[in-house]
Amino acid sequence: MYHEQQATDIQQQAMAIYREAFPEDRRASPANVRRILEGQLRSAGQQGSDAGFIALMKQAGQQYSRLPGNQSMMFQSVNYSSSRGELVVDVRADTFEKLSALRTGISEQGLEASIGSVVNDSDGARARLTVSGG
């Protein structure tokens, strides 16, 4: 019973985040949100070098998935400014080197990536990663 309630809570959180990013999309449900989001990412990737939210998020996500030990890294918030064409991600990691490796990986894909507002504390590092079209 406990795990069912946890699963329901996580599904609701996922849908709330999805609705924030795509308020007009009414096709998504907890059962198909992953498939729909993957389709949107695939579609955005085929549109070329458009540095919109989907394209920037796709690159950041791909580089994150390639990092060894990425389980110790967490995106705490994601913000996108269409007027500036930039994605701002508040990230926490167990070491600054992992944050730097993420920035480097994104830069190697031809995008601008910078790290600011770094705070080192006893359990790792937090920073603001800004990604924009190169």
Predicted pLDDT at 45: 56
Distance CA 102, CA 115 (A): 10
pLDDT of 33 above 50: yes
Helices (H), the chain: 2-21, 33-46, 53-66, 96-108
Residue type, 124: G
pTM exceeds 0.85 for this model = no
Judge whether 91 and 126 are in contact, CB under 8 Å.
yes
Task: Give the chain's domains with CATH numbers.
Answer: 1-46 (no CATH), 49-134 (3.30.1360.100)
Residue 118: partners with Cβ closer than 8 Å, 6 or more residues away: 96, 99, 125, 126, 127
Upper half-sphere CA count for residue 45 (Cβ side, 13 Å): 13
Residue 119 buriedness (CB in 10 A; 0-12 / 13-18 / 19+): exposed
pLDDT digit string, tens, across residues 7-25: 888 888 888 888 887 778 7
